[in-house]
Amino acid sequence: MIKTLCVFCGSSMGKRTAYAESAIKLAEFLIHRHVTLVYGGANVGLMMVLADTMLAAGGKVIGVMPKSLVEREVAHTSLTEMHIVDGMQERKALMADLSDAFIALPGAFGTLDELFEVLTWNQLGIINKPIGLLNIDGFFNPLLSMLDHAVEEKFLRPEHRNMLLTDDDFERLFLKLEAYKPVTAEKWIERLKAGSI
């Protein structure tokens, strides 16, 4: 059972209203399932929409933010818990420790950095926790195509590609997260003999 869900998402609202609308619906779903939200702790963009929707309905929200961002006055001041950490690596590690699973919503560098960090940790066996993309209006289609291309070019093993669960419906995605079984591969790097390329 997933009791705490970490959500990575943008500090902007994005171009389409569907992004914020989906964030609201996801928050309402988490409230219904009594799931605690873990997120980056900001009071801007989709991050704010998620947190405010959860808090307005009496949900539990845990934020994790580096001191440098708190000092820029982007920290949410009404969360259930706020953890202030020294830097970004500590932030990501604590968010992972606090969470049973992860979902990424649309975002940019920060969102993708957090997403690929936890994917890499799963690949290496550092953690074994489900990770999903909520593919709102096809936002992540180019990224998914790139990952498929990496599989075709034999930089990414299919079983590791399949660690990233994807859906455009948050309820279906949540069910996939709950049904997830950790991926195992005999080895994550194929060592080629000299002259075999």
- Residue 194 forms part of a structural domain: no
Are the CB atoms for 105 and 46 separated by under 8 Å? yes
CA–CA distance, 45 with 156 (Å, rounded to integer): 32
> Which CATH number characterizes residue 134's domain?
3.40.50.450
- Residue 111 forms part of a structural domain: yes
Structural domain boundaries enclosing 168: 4-179
Please choose, from the candidates 190, 178, 183, the residue with its C-alpha nearest in 3D space to the C-alpha of residue 5: 178
pLDDT digits (tens, 9 = 90+) for 174-190: 999 999 998 766 555 55
What is the total count of domains within the chain? Answer: 1
- Residue 149 forms part of a structural domain: yes
pLDDT digits (tens, 9 = 90+) for 69-111: 988 878 999 999 999 999 999 999 999 999 999 999 999 999 9
Whole-model pTM: value is 0.91
Q: Is the pLDDT of residue 197 over 60?
A: no
SS3 string, 7-64, reads EECCCCCCCCHHHHHHHHHHHHHHHHCCCEEEECCECCHHHHHHHHHHHHCCCCEEEE
Q: Is the pLDDT of residue 196 over 80?
A: no
